[in-house]
């Protein structure tokens, strides 16, 4: 069996590590000159988004032998709507760095990979398929799946972000769901350390957002964070992503081609989280290749999570700032903490089931 992995990101590297642990050495093809050779940004792993798993980092090491050191664990989340705020405390998840930094998640995975990585690869999927018995597509977006008509794109999102200097509590993450700042989207402040943080603004490219200018909204958001934190927050690095497709492939495996990570559809529509699911998809594809499971079956719960998350995203598009104020107010204190820390139910799954009839009714009214 000769396996080519296209893309040395989270899912591709997790796949390579798992294959090697089980006696198969794949070859990795990465289009960039080194692992993580892109913008730097801060990301989070929130426990509430990975239920039934309560600690992604522990689960990855104990169950799959994949070892990741986050930047910090999250002990406090400050959530803001236009007029309300909720503070939630407890162990809520982890923050981590992505991109070209030495301790980014992809760099950490590269150090655990024992397979050859061919950098600056120009190989197309078709070339790899003619040279290898199996190809794992891990290129980080649905482009190839789309080209082969194996991808349902649900919407796209545009994101602007920056690294800022200041004084931060590394255990606190801040998030804004205020449609004056990011209509139908969200904003985050994720610290890298006591002195640096990543701020970002994500806006879905909906028809009702067609006239928006992300640069104008960015100015508003940047000003908002500075006044809220009462700090200057000089920008030292910036990134912008336009029309990033969010969708899911129709078949996770076609013939001897496996679609993993965002090529499968591991980036969840509600808030764009996808790190943990991307890593899992790489592990599961490797299990199938090693005869230890069936990729399609293993991915079924992640497909369901995607669909649940899409319901929440669609619901979010129906809510106004007043509705968001009510939600944030109800999350403050005891109930928010209970919700974020409950171990017996998956709150997002429950919310998505509760939202379905509401969305059906809305659809009926508008169609």
Ligand X SMILES: Cc1cc2nc3c(=O)[nH]c(=O)nc-3n(C[C@H](O)[C@H](O)[C@H](O)COP(=O)(O)OP(=O)(O)OC[C@H]3O[C@@H](n4cnc5c(N)ncnc54)[C@H](O)[C@@H]3O)c2cc1C
- Residue numbers of the site for ligand X (CB under 6 A)? 6-12, 29-32, 41, 43-45, 121, 138-140, 159, 161, 241, 244, 261-262, 266-267, 272-275, 278
Between 279 and 324, CB nearer to ligand X: 279
CB of 365 to ligand X, least distance (A): 33
Between 140 and 166, CB nearer to ligand X: 140
3-state secondary structure the chain: CCEEEECCCHHHHHHHHHHHHCCCCCEEECCCCCCCCCCCEEEEEEHHHCCCCCCHHHHHHHHHCCCCCCCEEEEEEEEECCCCEEEEEEEEEEEEEECCCCCCHHHHHHHHCCCEEECCCCCCHHHHHHHCCEEEECCCCCHHHHHCCCEEEEEEEEEEEEEEECCCCCCEEEEECCCCCCCCCEEEEEECCCCEEEEEEEEECCHHHCCCCHHHHHHHHHHHHHHHHCCCCCEEEEEEEEEEEEEEECCCEECCEEECHHHCCCCCCCCCCCHHHHHHHHHHHHHHHCCCCCHHHHHHHHHHHHHHHHHHHHHHCCCCHHHHHHHHHHHCCHHHHHHHHCCCCCHHHHHHHHHHHHHHHHHHHHC
**Cα four-point dihedral sign 44, 49, 50, 54:** positive
Q: How far is CA 294 from the centre of its chain?
A: 24
Between 7 and 336, CB nearer to ligand X: 7
CB of 30 to ligand X, least distance (A): 5
CB of 94 to ligand X, least distance (A): 10
Between 137 and 315, CB nearer to ligand X: 137
In the bound state, the residue with its beta carbon closest to ligand X is 9
CB of 275 to ligand X, least distance (A): 3
Between 237 and 326, CB nearer to ligand X: 237
Between 34 and 329, CB nearer to ligand X: 34
Between 190 and 325, CB nearer to ligand X: 190
Q: For residue 203, with 0-12 CB atoms within 10 Å meaning exposed, 13-18 middle and 19 or more buried, which class applies?
A: buried
CB of 248 to ligand X, least distance (A): 12
Contact 156, 190 (CB under 8 A): no
CB of 334 to ligand X, least distance (A): 26
Between 43 and 337, CB nearer to ligand X: 43
CB of 198 to ligand X, least distance (A): 9
- Say whether 244 sits in a helix, a strand or coil: strand
In DSSP notation, 283-294 reads HHHHHHHTTSS-
CB of 38 to ligand X, least distance (A): 7
Between 7 and 191, CB nearer to ligand X: 7
CB of 12 to ligand X, least distance (A): 6
Q: Could you give the CA distance from residue 196 to residue 265 in angstroms, rounded to a whole number? A: 31
CB of 6 to ligand X, least distance (A): 5
Between 162 and 325, CB nearer to ligand X: 162
């Amino acid at each position: 069996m000769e396996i080519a992995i296209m893309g040395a990101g989270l899912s591709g590297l997790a796949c390579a590590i798992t294959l090697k642990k089980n006696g198969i050495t794949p070859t990795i093809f990465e289009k960039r000159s080194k692992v993580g050779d892109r913008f730097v940004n801060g990301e989070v792993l929130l426990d509430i988004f990975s239920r039934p798993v309560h600690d992604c980092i522990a689960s990855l090491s104990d169950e799959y032998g994949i070892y990741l050191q986050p930047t910090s664990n999250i002990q406090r989340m400050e959530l803001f709507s236009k007029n309300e705020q909720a503070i939630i405390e407890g162990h809520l998840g982890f923050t981590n760095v992505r991109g070209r930094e030495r301790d980014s998640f992809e760099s950490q995975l590269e150090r655990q990979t024992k397979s050859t990585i061919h950098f600056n690869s120009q190989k197309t999927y078709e070339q790899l398929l003619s040279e290898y018995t199996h190809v794992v597509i891990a290129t980080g977006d649905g482009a190839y799946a789309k080209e082969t008509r194996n991808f349902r794109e649900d919407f796209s999102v545009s994101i602007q972000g920056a690294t800022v200097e200041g004084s931060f509590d590394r255990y606190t993450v801040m998030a804004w769901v205020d449609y004056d700042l990011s209509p139908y989207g969200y904003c985050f402040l994720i610290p890298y350390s006591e002195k640096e943080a990543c701020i970002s603004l994500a806006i879905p490219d909906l028809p009702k957002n067609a006239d928006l200018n992300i640069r104008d909204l960015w100015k508003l958001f940047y000003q908002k964070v500075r006044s809220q934190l009462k700090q200057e927050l000089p920008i030292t690095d910036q990134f912008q992503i336009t029309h990033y497709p969010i969708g899911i492939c129709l078949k996770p495996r076609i013939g001897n081609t496996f679609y993993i990570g965002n090529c499968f559809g591991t980036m969840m529509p509600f808030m764009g989280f996808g790190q943990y699911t991307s890593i899992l998809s790489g592990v599961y594809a490797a299990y199938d290749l090693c005869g230890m499971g069936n990729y399609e079956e293993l991915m079924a719960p992640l497909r369901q999570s995607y669909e649940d998350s899409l319901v929440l995203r669609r619901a979010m598009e129906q809510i106004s700032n007043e509705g968001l104020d009510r939600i944030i107010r109800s999350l403050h204190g005891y109930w928010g903490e209970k919700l974020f820390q409950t171990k017996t139910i998956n709150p997002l799954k429950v919310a998505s089931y509760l939202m379905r009839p509401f969305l059906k009714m809305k659809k009926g009214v508008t169609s």
